[in-house]
Structure 1
Amino acid sequence: MKIILAAPNFPQPRGNTVTVRRIAAHLEKLGVQTEIVSTTEEVKPLPFGDLVHGFHAFYFYQFMQKLAERPDPYIVTMTGTDLNVDLFHPQKRGGVLSVLREAKAIHVFDEAAKTILLKEAPEFEYKVFPIAQGATGFPPSGLPLEKEAGTFLYVLPAGIRKVKNIPSAISALGKLHKKYPHLRLWLVGPVIEEAEAEIVLDLVERHSGWVCCIGELPHSEMGAVYQQADAVLNTSLSEGQPAAILEAMSYGLPVLVSNVQGNSGMVENGSTGYLYNDEQEFLDYAEQLINDDEARQRLGQRAKQYAAEQHSSIREAEALLKIYKSLLQ
């Protein structure tokens, strides 16, 4: 069996690239041949495969419109903005629903995502499959940058774009930094939107004494970042199921994340991390993480246990393979 995995912006270091590479690696362990293609580069005829698995419904829809011959069968994974934004966008909704309608199966990351989709398109119920993302492991690696001794390091792993709401993290932590001058923040991720990058990089320059923008890193080096972090942030306005937060949890790190669908599907407030609704809650939780070693360790241990039990990469691949086989019989 050969599966073509079609993802946007591949091989750029974004969430979809992390997801398809992880799935491909574990499908290969199960004896499945895979090939990854980008849906946002120059369109070429699809390579031969028994089935095409597209990631991000709207990008996949656009890709399909450019193909001389459309694949059949295909399935679609809804990864985040396609579910939470594009599905409700007047100019994009039709494309999203069109590509899902022709799909033989639709993969979402959790039951909450399934509920959102079926509220808008209940006719898809028979072919929607919630399968949790697997956690990605990392080989040992070094990092040119080292955390300063005696500091408390927050890491925010995200590509720089408006939906990630990075300026809010700098602004809020700036208030805490006045009280805790040993606080540090690393931003890790590529520039995706130039206009947002201007705002973020201006803030980084103004707070250069404690904020560092590392920029784009090979995904294999993220393990070295997590090893130095004390806590990991996600300030997104919208999420699917962020791989970076799942990776941080698998490292036993406490996470402080915005209370949006995707984050809330992984993080149980006060148990496996903290969910915040506004800046004051963010500040309260962020300060607690700095001051309460016991709470930080407890959250990290529970997060690691949750990631191991609920986000097995091999179980993710096995569940997808079961769908592939059922469609090809």
Structure 2
Amino acid sequence: MSCVLGVLTKQVENLHVFLLVCGLRRVKDPLYLLEAFAEWHSQNPLVVLIIIGPVIDPVFTAEVEESVKRSVGVFLAADLSQEELHSAMQKSFALVNSSLSEGMSAAILEAMDLGLPVLARDVPGNAAIVEHKVTGLLYSSPQEFVSMSRKLLDDRELQERLVRNGKNYITTCHNPVKERITYQKLVETLH
């Protein structure tokens, strides 16, 4: 047995971890994919969904914990430091975003920067940074998520294109050096 983000799994070389990074609160909708993913896992035990993030709403977190306990192939992991989270992301197959509403998802941007394919719910905030089939995949239902995930698993060219274009997007539109300079200038004008 080995430990993947605190979740015990059999040592399987071909395990595909889909990582849903979010603060545990209703707007992030971490249970949106639960049933469809559990059904997919029953058909393909090599796919797992790990939900990870800080407790924001304790009552909702208890609901998530109970729902995950009753599901197969879906796990809830404790919050990690940024360094640990980035390491976990790099060991995962894809990053998942299931938010009902999103601003500019730091998790999506970090995943692109780390070379991880992104599957995001098709809401305006996600669609503003994820171009469908170019920098990531946008889905509108749990069934569409599973269908796109299956395609991504089977299509190495698609995986490579999403990773390459995601990294290019980060370099072009969210270059950390350029953003730091811009924010420094902004702060200087406020003083």
What TM-score, normalized by structure 2, do the two folds share? Answer: 0.88
Shift of 1:302: 1.2
Shift of 1:146: 8.2
Contact 2:96 2:118 in 1 (8 A): yes
SS at match of 2:51: strand
Output the aligned Cα RMSD. Answer: 2.0
1:194 to 2:58 alignment: yes
Shift of 1:291: 2.1
1:308 to 2:171 alignment: yes
1:205 to 2:69 alignment: yes
Shift of 1:144: 6.3
Q: Distance in 1 between matches of 2:90 and 2:103?
A: 25
Higher deviation after alignment, 154-163 or 217-226: 217-226
Q: Distance in 2 between matches of 1:248 and 1:284?
A: 21
Q: Distance in 2 between matches of 1:312 and 1:150?
A: 33
Contact 2:6 2:78 in 1 (8 A): no
1:326 to 2:186 alignment: no
1:172 to 2:36 alignment: yes
Written as runs of structure 1 = structure 2, the 5 A alignment for 1:88-107 is: none
1:290 to 2:172 alignment: no
Deviation readout 1:101-153 (Å, 9 max, x if unpaired): xxxxxxxxxxxxxxxxxxxxxxxxxxxxxxxxxxxxxxxxxx66687422111
Q: Which letter maps to 1:197?
A: T
Contact 1:250 1:307 in 2 (8 A): yes
What TM-score, normalized by structure 1, do the two folds share? Answer: 0.53
Q: Which residue of 1 aligns with 2:80?
A: 217
Distance 1:309 1:145, change over 3 A: farther
Q: Which residue of 2 aligns with 1:250?
A: 113
Contact 1:253 1:304 in 2 (8 A): no
Work out which of the two has the higher radius of gyration on C-alpha atoms and give 1 or 2.
1
Deviation readout 1:215-253 (Å, 9 max, x if unpaired): 111122112111210011000001111111111111111
Give unmatched runs, 5+ long, in structure 1. Answer: 1-142
Distance 1:190 1:269, change over 3 A: same
Written as runs of structure 1 = structure 2, the 5 A alignment for 1:1-329 is: 148-207=12-71, 209-328=72-191
SS at match of 1:263: helix
Give unmatched runs, 5+ long, in structure 2. Answer: none
Matched residues, percent identical? 34
